């Protein structure tokens, strides 16, 4: 009975910790993409030009910057007017 309760508490904590880890990983990936976007904006890259970095690539397409990280996750940022 007590062993079952401990197992249930442990399983619940594991699920919560895994969810926290996934959420933090998503934030880190978005922060990396934002860094690449800011580097591309600072370099004022021309349309259809792609910059490659060790964590991903940035390409400008019109008024948008397309960021692709090494893990294939993609982010799109619009150039502010």
Give the mean pLDDT of the chain: 92
DSSP string, 8-32: HHHHHHHHHHHHHHHHHHHHHHHHH
Below-70 pLDDT ranges, the chain: none
Q: Return the closest-CA partner of residue 33 out of 45, 43, 44, 25.
A: 25
Sign of CA dihedral 7, 8, 11, 13: negative
pTM: 0.80
Q: Tell me what pLDDT residue 65 has.
A: 96
Q: Return the closest-CA partner of residue 74 out of 45, 37, 46.
A: 37
């Amino acid at each position: 009975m007590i062993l079952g309760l401990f197992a249930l508490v442990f399983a619940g904590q594991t699920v919560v910790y895994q969810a926290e880890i996934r959420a933090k990983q998503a934030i880190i990936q978005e922060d990396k993409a934002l860094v690449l976007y800011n580097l591309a904006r600072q370099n004022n890259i021309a349309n259809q030009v792609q910059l490659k970095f060790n964590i991903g690539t940035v390409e400008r397409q019109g008024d948008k910057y397309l960021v692709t990280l090494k893990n294939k996750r993609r982010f799109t940022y619009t150039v502010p007017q």
